[in-house]
Amino acid sequence: MTEPTSSVPIGVAGRDGTLIEGPVPPAIDATVEAGLELKVRSQWSYARMRFFRHRLAMMGLVGLVILFGAGAFAGYVAPYSYSEIDLNNILHAPTTIGQHYFGTDEIGRDYFSRVIWGIRTSEEVGVFVAVVSSLIGLVIGAIAGYYRGWIDNILMRITDLVLTLPAIAILLTASALLGQGSQWRISFILASFFWTGIARIVRGVFLSLREKEYVEAAKASGAGDLRIMFRHILPNTLGPIIVNGTLAVAAAILTEAALSFLGFGIKPPTPSLGALVVSGQTNPQQWWLTVFPGLTIVAIVLCVNFVGDGLRDALDPQQRRIRA
């Protein structure tokens, strides 16, 4: 007797995307039962697998979720308001009594709450600068790399001009004249300088990809320039953009903390990690006023760099070995 065929529909898609139903041949049915069927995976699925296998990246991601989550929900996490004054606990050392885990400052404000609110401010600055600078760099680099010629020369000379400017001096001057006191003004100033690196990277990738066969095929089929740039070339540049955007978060947080430390950044009453480190300099004997906000900055930067390192390894199609 011949073995009857299965009546389970075959999951084969036709050219129009419809499902072709029919009896499953015995060989295919046995392959499925043995678990030997082939599963189609995209490049993003392989990148996700490589990222999840990167131990340092996963540790950094967990730490970043905890720190940024605490900052995002500072109103619920912080036991006190960042401006609440308690004159009965002035310069109190860290203790669990009264929930002053990081101690108090010179006017009795809870330092743990101020650090949590400072994380929120640094988070807003870092994420905003990373997103805005990446978008500006993406547009400028894509236009310069795709059209080349005089457009490329003009845009890249402007980029070189911004790169040659002394960043610290310009940032200090701009912060003193325009952005002192507000985290959003500081964010706009930082974003106006941080776009140059991603613009050069995107330009190089576009110069390489515009000569590929699929781009020539898209041109031959009548696709416009914008469709080719953002539908065919841009998806292949997302890896470098995501990695550099992630690292820009850490660079923006460090730069904002440095400006606040020098007195040209965010001003009270807005809490900032850099401003908290500065305020601790007036009472050097009370070590917790400087150590805790400084360690928080270090923890955030380390977590962001670990995540960026994992994304760089995961999004590299030539990467075959997990380094960490």
pLDDT in tens, 229-279: 888 888 888 888 888 888 889 889 888 888 887 777 787 777 888 888 888
Mean residue pLDDT of the chain comes to: 79
119 touches 71 (CB < 8 A)? yes
Amino acid 287: pLDDT: 84
**pLDDT on residue 65:** 92
- Binned at pLDDT 50, 70 and 90, residue 322 comes out as very low
pTM: 0.78
Residues 6+ apart with CB under 8 A from 298: none
131 has a pLDDT exceeding 50? yes
Superfamily for 45-314?
MetI-like (1.10.3720.10)
Return the domain boundaries, the chain. 1-40, 45-314
Upstream peptide bond of 284 is cis (omega within 30 degrees of 0): no
Q: Could you tell me which residues are beta bridge partners of residue 19?
A: 13
Residue 4's pLDDT is 47
pLDDT in tens, 29-68: 555 555 555 565 666 777 778 888 888 889 999 999 999 9
Judge whether 74 and 116 are in contact, CB under 8 Å. Answer: yes
Whole-angstrom distance, CA of residue 115 vs CA of residue 74: 10
User: Mean pLDDT, to the nearest integer, of 107-130?
Assistant: 89
Q: What is the DSSP string of 78-111?
A: -SS-TT---TTSTTPPS-SGGG-TT-B-TT--BH
